[in-house]
Amino acid sequence: MIRLSGVGLSYGPIRALHDIDLQVNAGEVTCVLGDNGAGKSTLIKIMSGLHPHTAGRFHIDDRETVLRSPRDALDLGIATVYQDLAVVPLMPVWRNFFLGSELTTGRFPLRRLRIREMRGTAETALNDMGIAVADIDQPIGTLSGGQRQSVAIARAVHFGARVLILDEPTAALGVHQSGVVLRYIAAARDRGLGVVLVTHNPHHAHLVGDHFVVLKLGATVLDARRGAVTLDQLTAQMSGGDELTELARELRRPA
């Protein structure tokens, strides 16, 4: 669905990404891993239309493209869920589900929201993904972090995303809530979406990933398919195994 070849991006003199090859396939989870500053968010910003790339080629469905805005990306079916989730905490779940795409009837100044329809549709969409929300009318701010991520995923699926990009969806979550989110990632994959999962956590990546790309200082240091890489290798590549050994020596204390 998406193919990057030799893609790079510089912020003025700072080369944040260089020579990245990446392919996003339908029905697969592509994991992008890397430490702070590795270039993960920059890579997402290219694919979601926030920053156009400054080098290399970007193909969507085999057609060369430069995305000029997030709207361009959405029109092509690329939906991004950012870590800070643009939700309105005090508005009900269904209202957030339709935020920016409200169903209305009539014309200004008599335009009205089709409330009953939106409530029903949001509820069905969440149920279809197996997401349990006690009350579709409760303010979204009262949901747990994992539930909020799940609603965002269901929303992208409902509005016809073909590619779903998630920036650190489990970063602020505990073990149980992370599991919840990972399940919906798998559900989106099973529906045939191409999922891009950005994460610091090799365990989470390894649970759902079909394909792993590790970035370091803006370059690819590992690119492997599931089966060609073990969790240990992934962890070592991620943290720089040597760095951890070094740290262990430095912090060693007498028993």
Q: Which residue matches tokens 């991520």?
A: 149
170 sits near ligand ATP (criterion: CB under 6 A): no
What angle in degrees, to the nearest 10, is found between the helix axes of 231-239 and 241-250?
A: 70
Kindly tell me which residue out of 6, 11, 90, 102 binds ligand ATP, with binding defined by CB under 6 A. Answer: 11
Cα–Cα–Cα angle for 91, 146, 168, rounded to 5 degrees: 110
Kindly tell me which residue out of 1, 18, 34, 194 binds ligand ATP, with binding defined by CB under 6 A. Answer: 34
Kindly tell me which residue out of 41, 48, 80, 150 binds Mg ion, with binding defined by CB under 5 A. Answer: 41
Minimum gap (Å) between residue 197 Cβ and Mg ion: 13
Site residues for Mg ion, 88-127, by CB under 5 A, read none
Q: 143 or 215, CB closer to Mg ion?
A: 215
How far apart, in whole angstroms, are the C-alpha atoms of residue 188 and residue 169?
A: 14
Minimum gap (Å) between residue 41 Cβ and ligand ATP: 3
Q: 41 or 177, CB closer to Mg ion?
A: 41
Is residue 22 classed as helix, strand or coil in its secondary structure? Answer: strand
Q: 37 or 130, CB closer to ligand ATP?
A: 37
Tokens of 114: 């089709």
42 sits near ligand ATP (criterion: CB under 6 A): yes
146 sits near ligand ATP (criterion: CB under 6 A): no
Kindly tell me which residue out of 16, 22, 60, 131 binds ligand ATP, with binding defined by CB under 6 A. Answer: 16
How far apart, in whole angstroms, are the C-alpha atoms of residue 244 and residue 255?
A: 20
162 makes contact, choosing from ligand ATP, Mg ion, none, with CB < 5 to 8 Å by partner type, with none
- Which residues of this protein are in contact with ligand ATP, per CB under 6 A? 11, 14, 16, 34, 36-42
Task: Point out which residues bind Mg ion (CB under 5 A).
Answer: 41
